[in-house]
Amino acid sequence: MLAWHWRLAGYGPPLPRDSSGTGRGLSYRDAGVDLDASEVLHGLASRLLAGRREAYTSSIELHGRELVLHVDGVGTKTLVLERLGRLRVAGWDCVVMNTNDVACDAARPVALVDYIAMPRADEHVFREILEGVREAAEATGALLLGGETAILPGLAQGVDVVCTVLALREPGWRGNRVRPGDVLVGLESNGLHANGYSLARRIALERLGGYNVVVDGLDLAEELAKPVRDYTGFLLEAWSRGLLTAAAHITGGAFTKMRRILPQGAAAVMEMPEPPRVFQVLVEAGGVEPSEAYRVWNMGVGLVVATPRDSLDELLSLAKRHGHRAHVLGRVEQAGAAEPRIILDTVYGRITY
Amino acid sequence: MLAWHWRLAGYGPPLPRDSSGTGRGLSYRDAGVDLDASEVLHGLASRLLAGRREAYTSSIELHGRELVLHVDGVGTKTLVLERLGRLRVAGWDCVVMNTNDVACDAARPVALVDYIAMPRADEHVFREILEGVREAAEATGALLLGGETAILPGLAQGVDVVCTVLALREPGWRGNRVRPGDVLVGLESNGLHANGYSLARRIALERLGGYNVVVDGLDLAEELAKPVRDYTGFLLEAWSRGLLTAAAHITGGAFTKMRRILPQGAAAVMEMPEPPRVFQVLVEAGGVEPSEAYRVWNMGVGLVVATPRDSLDELLSLAKRHGHRAHVLGRVEQAGAAEPRIILDTVYGRITY
């Protein structure tokens, strides 16, 4: 239950690597993201946090209203988008990653500010990003109150795109209250969203010959430039109609992040759909351990929500009405261990976190 | 009157350069910050902004309360601080730069989130920055609600430290209402604060032999590692006691930023104190045009406030009680031109923006 979260960083212990047909298997650490080190920082930071903590965000009460302040960035996905001339997606993503997070904790976005760091002032790049921010602000109902654009020669090698969202907790929200027996429903993602790009980039550049390649009919550039799917409206309506007991946005840390929403002694047991082709290609080409893949990438499922069994039909039809493809993945079970566990049955076999 | 502001970027037209005894004079553009290009971006961004705009910030009304959301970063000062092992100052600065800004618009900081980007997870660096954030949050009364730490191999070459502050407008604030006749008071800065470091770094590295040098008895490293002075408490008390008609935080754009607080047809006419030694050294060693210096650096004055003549004594004693050294610099005058003008009498002669 931590509001401090880590771009590109998982939470579990490092996994052993094996070799694959395409050379030594790549891990997130190989791609420059050291999970152990990130975990230490995580612990340091969380001790300093104030406010009421929920699964994704913290809030303060101000004159009877609960306000959430939340920050997230697009990370190294911008390096791919810049190369492909698609930085508008970075503007969109930086907003929607935040609004998805706050909506998981039943908070409605009301305002935002952005932060863009660039090595030099580039009008075209800036215009593209801003257009994406504008679109996403409109889609999610947040007002753009300002921003900072930092020209950072010698510090930024590429474009860094970050956003902070102010959100208002829905009145009467009873909080995360998932229980054994609740059904777990997954909503499809739109590609990698904005996580795990350090590893994806390394695989693309070192094993696949770059971003602009077609692998078995899959246009890799198109896949890597897909925008984050916006779950905000669906989540807020589902909370307000009392259909949810918890929601987990699958971002940095991927399915290990579901630990945040589970009570002690519970396990999330899910049968995962076959991952979309892009994930299969990355796993194969990178020789990535499946258990590494499912804690770095969303593997086709961008959001997991928990619902009481008798709300399932209504939830599924609500998802459909919001344009999302939803799948019943499994349920929350009572487990022996004290720490929450995540058990995934995948095409690669069973994975347990 | 723009809430979008630019780290390290001024607003006026580029100035002619001359040569000096120490080689060709350096400008901000030479240091990698192109003012023309930044101005274009500025214009693009400001068209998209929503909310009520004040001199430094924008706000929204939420259930009868006016909320300000504001973002700012430390910029390339972190490159100096990292080299000197003083990154705690970056944590402090990222908060205080924001709280000074919002307090200029009479908003009281209530919460904040930080964003730290690093090329790799470095526990020592992170701990230092976080300690500075914690100190500043405590000093300014804002609760730390969360943060994002992005490990960005290939994107970040150094550490980027950014903060977003949520602030609550003081009830009954009548807004910026400076008038001809108002007295302009300057509060001393503490070194460069966090602006103009791209130019300062270039001068230090190319003309002075690095940061760790002593120039005519001045310890350059000590000067460059000074934290931003915290004007938050002074500003909020001065506003609440009705002593101010406007306040200008001297940051990116330096004294040109005062245009934001002046009405059409007015001029700020100020006699500037002799700049502290560090500025003199940078101007001389860099061959920096004085008019460039006063729009890049604060030149010893970190805050300018306007006060009705009959509130001057009370304002000066309030500043003293808050530990600030204040100087009467001049006053607001009726001028012929439609656009607000800034007229500075400096040790280098008269400068007009």
Q: What is the ipTM of this complex?
A: 0.89
Chain B environment of A56 (Cβ under 8 Å): none
Query: Is residue B234 within 8 Å of residue B263, measured between CB atoms?
Result: no
Mutate: best of A11, A30, A41, partner B, most B CBs <10 A: A41
Tell me what pLDDT residue B36 has: 66
pLDDT of residue B61 exceeding 70, the answer is: yes
Note whether A32 contacts B120, CB cutoff 8 Å: yes
Query: Rounded mean pLDDT of B79-104?
Result: 97
Mutate which of A53, A67, A118, A164 to test chain B, going by most B C-beta atoms within 10 A? A164
Strands (E), chain A: 5-7, 19-20, 23-24, 52-53, 58-62, 65-73, 107-118, 143-151, 160-169, 183-188, 214-215, 218-219, 246-249, 266-271, 301-307, 326-334, 341-346, 349-352
Amino acid B349: pLDDT: 97
Contact B126 A45 (CB under 8 A): yes
More reliable by pLDDT, B62 or A115: A115
Contacts of A147 by beta carbon, 8 Å cutoff, 6+ apart: A113, A114, A115, A116, A133, B4, B45, B71
The tens digit of pLDDT for each residue in A226-253 reads 999 999 999 999 999 999 999 999 998 9
Considering only the beta carbons, identify the residue of B9, B50, B130 that sits closest to A151: B9
CA A71 to mean position of chain CA atoms: 13
Interface of A with B in 63-122 (CB under 8 A): 63, 65, 67-73, 75-76, 78-79, 110-115, 117, 119-122
Query: Using 50, 70 and 90 to split pLDDT, how confident is the model at B50?
Result: confident
Tokens of A142: 């947040």
Token pair in block for residue B200: 């300062």
> What is the model's pLDDT at position A9?
30
pLDDT value for B1: 27
Q: Where does the pLDDT of residue B47 fall: very low under 50, low under 70, confident under 90, or very high at 90 and above?
A: confident
Q: What local confidence, expressed as pLDDT, does residue B44 receive?
A: 76
Which chain B positions have a beta carbon within 8 Å of A118's beta carbon?
none
- Which residues in chain B have Cβ-Cβ distances shorter than 8 Å to A120? 32, 34, 37
Mean pLDDT of all residues in A59-82: 94
Contact criterion met (CB below 8 Å) for A83 and A93: no
Kindly tell me if the per-residue pLDDT of A5 is higher than 80.
Answer: no
A323's CB contacts (< 8 A; 6+ apart) are: none
- Distance in angstroms (rounded) separating the CA atoms of residues B50 and B102: 17
Residue of A nearest to B162 (CA): A115
Q: How far is B279 from chain A (nearest CA, A)?
A: 21
Mutation test of the interface with chain B: which of A44, A65, A69, A118, choosing the one with the most B Cβ atoms within 10 A?
A69
pLDDT, averaged across chain A: 90
CA distance A177 to B351: 64
Neighboring chain B residues of A44 at a CB cutoff of 8 Å: 123, 126-127, 130
pLDDT > 90: percent of chain B:
77
For residue A242, report the phi and psi dihedrals to the nearest 5 degrees.
70, 25
pLDDT in tens, A86-114: 999 999 999 999 999 999 999 999 999 99
Mean predicted confidence (pLDDT) in A57-67:
91
Give residue A10's pLDDT: 28
Q: Tell me, what's the pLDDT at B30?
A: 82
Reported as a pLDDT band with limits 50, 70 and 90, residue B35 is: low
Region B131-159: mean pLDDT is: 94
- Interface check for A8 against chain B (CB to CB < 8 A): the answer is yes
User: How sure is the predictor about A28, in pLDDT bands with cuts at 50, 70 and 90?
Assistant: confident
Contact A151/B at CB under 8 A: yes
The answer, yes or no, to whether residue B17 has pLDDT greater than 70, is no
pLDDT in tens, A304-341: 999 999 999 999 999 999 999 999 999 999 988 788 99
User: In this complex, is the C-beta atom of B40 within 8 Å of any C-beta atom belonging to chain A?
Assistant: yes
How far is A87 from A283, CA to CA, in rounded Å?
26
Residue, of B22 and B295, whose pLDDT is higher: B295
3-state class of B346 per DSSP? strand
C-beta separation of A141 from A186 below 8 A: no
B34 touches chain A (CB under 8 A): yes
How far does CA A192 lie from the centroid of its chain? 9
- Tell me the average pLDDT across A144-165: 94
The yes-or-no verdict on residue B25 having pLDDT over 90 is no
Q: State whether B164 and A164 contact (CB < 8 Å).
A: yes
Q: For residue range B183-212, what is the model confidence (pLDDT) as tens digits?
A: 999 999 999 999 999 999 999 999 999 999
Domains identified in chain B and CATH numbers: 56-169 (3.30.1330.10), 183-352 (3.90.650.10)
Q: Give the Cα separation of A42 and B18 in Å (integer).
A: 51
Q: What angle do CA B153, B157, B161 make, to 5 degrees?
A: 100
Q: Tokens representing A82? A: 């810049």
How far apart, in whole angstroms, are the C-alpha atoms of residue A197 and residue A76?
A: 6
How sure is the predictor about A17, in pLDDT bands with cuts at 50, 70 and 90? very low
Q: Residue B32: its chain A contacts at CB < 8 A?
A: 119-120, 151, 153-154
Going by their DSSP bridges, the two strands A160-169 and B19-20 should be labelled as unpaired
B220 phi and psi, to 5 degrees? -60, -40
pLDDT of residue B63: 85
Q: In chain B, what residues touch A121 (CB-CB under 8 Å)?
A: 9, 33-34, 37-38, 40-41
Q: What is the mean pLDDT of residues A116-134?
A: 94
Considering A4-8, A35-39, A254-258, A343-347, the range whose residues carry the highest mean pLDDT is A343-347
* Residues A76 and B153: beta-carbon distance below 8 Å: yes
A246 backbone dihedrals φ, ψ, rounded to 5°: -170, 160
pLDDT band at A222 (very low <50, low <70, confident <90, very high): very high
Query: Smallest Cα–Cα separation from A268: which of A254, A256, A250?
Result: A256
pLDDT for position A7: 33
Backbone angles phi, psi at B118, to 5 degrees: -140, 150
Which amino acid does the sequence have at A274?
E
Nearest CA in chain A to B63: A65
The pLDDT tens digits of the residues spanning A263-279 come to: 999 999 999 999 999 99
pLDDT per position as a tens digit, B236-287: 999 999 999 999 999 989 999 899 999 999 999 999 999 999 999 999 999 9
pLDDT of A43 above 80:
no
- Is the CB of residue A140 less than 8 Å away from at least one CB of chain B? no
Q: For residue B257, give every residue at least 6 positions away whose Cβ sits within 8 Å of its Cβ, in sequence order, or none.
A: B11, B248, B249, B250, B251
Please give the pLDDT value at position A31.
80
pLDDT of residue B23: 58
**What integer pLDDT is reported at residue B223 of this predicted model?**
97
CA distances from A209 to A32, A193, A276, A278, B237 (A): 19, 22, 21, 15, 61
CB atoms within 10 A of CB B1: 12
Residue B17: other Cβ atoms inside 10 A: 16
Can you state the angle between helices B232-240 and B88-104, rounded to 10 degrees?
Answer: 10
- Using pLDDT thresholds of 50, 70 and 90, give the confidence band for residue A47: confident
Give the minimum alpha-carbon distance from A61 to chain B in angstroms, rounded to a whole number: 10
Q: Which long-range contacts (CB under 8 A, 24 or more apart) does A129-132 make?
A: A129/A87, A129/A88, A129/A90, A129/A91, A129/A159, A129/A161, A130/A91, A130/B44, A130/B45, A130/B48, A131/A88, A131/A91, A132/A87, A132/A88, A132/A89, A132/A90, A132/A91, A132/A92, A132/A93, A132/A94, A132/A95, A132/A227
C-alpha span between A86 and A83 (Å, rounded): 8
**Average pLDDT taken over every residue of chain B:** 90
- Residue type (1 letter), B134: R
- Per CB-CB distance under 8 Å, the chain B contacts of A5 are 146, 148
Q: Which tens digit of pLDDT belongs to each residue from B317-348?
A: 999 999 999 999 999 999 887 889 999 999 99
Query: According to the model, what pLDDT value does residue B26 have?
Result: 87
Residue A193 and residue A229: Cα distance in Å, rounded? 7
> Distance (Å, rounded) from C-alpha A324 to C-alpha A73?
24
Q: Which of B32, B41, B70 sits opposite A113 (nearest CB)?
A: B70
When CB atoms are compared, the residue of B110, B113, B123 closest to A62 is B110
Q: Tell whether the model's pLDDT for residue B140 goes beyond 80.
A: yes
Q: Which of A54, A149, A161, A168 to mutate to test the interface with B (most CBs of B within 10 A)?
A: A149
B209: Cβ–Cβ under 8 A, 6 or more apart, which residues? none
pLDDT over 80 at A255, yes or no: yes
Closest chain B residue to A39 measured between Cα atoms? B121
Q: What share of chain B is helix, strand, coil (3-state, %, to 5)?
A: 35, 30, 40
Q: Give me the pLDDT at residue A27, please.
A: 87
Q: What is the rounded average pLDDT of the residues B56-80?
A: 93
